[in-house]
Each structure stands twice: as structure tokens, then as C-alpha cells.
Amino acid sequence: MADEGSLPADLVTICVVHGLLRAQVVKAKLEQAGISVLLSYESVGPIIGIIADGLAEVQIRVLSRYADEARALINEQESL
């Protein structure tokens, strides 16, 4: 994962999902629409397979200027 100091300052978390697989699906949907995505998660969870105590939570982060569009795409996907 990138050093927090090198990330753009205007990244916002648009949603939090449970599990890296679900996060990858959301990321693919957003990137297909041309929105770059950063997944932020505790790295130890996927490595040793722990999903308790929030270790399976993945934050979906995008540039703030794409936040509304990204949320709409995620809501569209969930309604299907």
C-alpha cells in the first residue's frame, strides 16, 4: 500500500465493505466508469484470513470530485 504522505489530500471514503473480494468488485465497477479507486484496509486480515474485529473492512476511496458519481454507481449496483 502507498505511503499515506504520498496520497492525494482530496481522497474521500465513499463506502466501507466487508471483505476484499467485495471491495474488488466495487473497484472494478468504478474503474470501468473511469473513476480511479484506492482500497484502504488492514493488511493483516487478508494475509492470515482473520475477518473479526473489523479486519475485513475495506474502505473504498476516490477523489472528492468523483464521490457523488461513485456513490450513485454503487447504489445502482446494490439495487440490482
| Predicted local confidence at residue 10, as pLDDT | 92
| Predicted local confidence at residue 56, as pLDDT | 76
Query: Along the chain (80 residues), what's the average pLDDT of each consecutive run of 10 residues?
Result: 65 92 95 96 63 73 97 81
| Predicted local confidence at residue 8, as pLDDT | 75
What type of residue sits at position 48? I
| Predicted local confidence at residue 42, as pLDDT | 77
Matching residue, cell 466501507: 16
CA dist 77 and 64 (Å) reads 20
Domain-located, residue 1: no
Number of domains in the chain: 1
pTM: 0.75
| Predicted local confidence at residue 80, as pLDDT | 57
Domain-located, residue 5: no
Which contiguous run of DSSP H or E holds residue 75?
helix 67-78
Among 41, 44, 1, smallest CA distance to 18 is for 41
> Which residue segment(s) compose the domain that 69 sits in?
10-78
